[in-house]
Amino acid sequence: MVKLNRKSRLSLILSSFLLLVTYVVEGWMYGLWMAEFLEYGVIFNQFADQVRYGILYGAAITVISLFVVILASPFSLMTTSLDGWLRSDTRAFLSIFVGAFAFAILVQRVDYFARFLVMVSAVFLVKLDLQLVGLSRWLCSVILILLCWLGFTGGILAFYS
C-alpha cells in the first residue's frame, strides 16, 4: 500500500465521506419512491412484498454497479468505441435522435439531472483521489462500487428504520 501524506489522506477521507453521504441520500429517496411505487403500482403484484422490494433493490444495485464501472473506465476506451459507432450515417442519425430525446427529458426533469450530476461528481472525485494515491483501475472500481453500495443500502435501511 502506498504511504499517504496528511493532505492526500484528508482529501481521500473527505471525498469518500461525500460519496457515502450522496448515495445515502439517494438511497433514502429511492426507498421513498420504492414504498410509494409498490403501494400504488400494479407491477409485481403476483409476488410477496419482500420479493417485490428485493427486485427493485436488485435493479437499483445493478444500475449503480454499471454506472460506476462505466464512470471508472478510461475515457479513451469510451471514445474509441464511439468512434466506430458514428462512422455510419444511420448510426449517427440514431445518436442525434437519442441525444435530442435525452435533452428533452433533461429540460423537463432538471431535478433528476441535478441529482445525476451530484452522483457523477462524487464518483469522479473519489476516483481521482484513489488514482492520485496510486491504486489500479480495478481496485478503484471495486472500492467505488463498494462505497456506492454501502451508501445506497444505508440510505434505504435508514428510510425503513
Domain residue extents for the chain: 6-160
| CA gyration radius, the chain | 19
pLDDT at 77 over 60: no
The residues near 16 (Cβ < 8 Å, ≥ 6 apart) are 126, 129, 147
Torsional sign, CA 113, 130, 141, 83: positive
Cα–Cα dist 129/11, whole Å: 7
pLDDT at 81: 60
- Give the residue-averaged pLDDT of 93-122: 87
- Distance in angstroms (rounded) separating the CA atoms of residues 73 and 5: 27
Tell me if the pTM is above 0.85: no
Region of 44 (left: φ > 0; alpha: ψ -120 to 50; beta: rest) is left
For residue 72, pLDDT over 80 is answered with no
- For range 8-17, the mean pLDDT: 89
* pLDDT reported for residue 95: 79
Dist. CA 89–CA 79, nearest whole Å: 18
Mean pLDDT of 112-134: 90
Is 82 exposed, middle or buried, given 0-12, 13-18 or 19+ CB atoms closer than 10 A?
exposed
Q: Which residue has the higher pLDDT, 44 or 57?
A: 57
Q: How confident is the model at residue 53 (pLDDT cuts 50, 70, 90)?
A: confident
Dump pLDDT digits (tens) for 34-51.
888 888 877 777 777 788
More confident residue, 89 or 76: 89
**Residues contacting 130, CB < 8 A, separation 6+:** 12, 139, 140, 143, 144
**pLDDT for 98:** 85
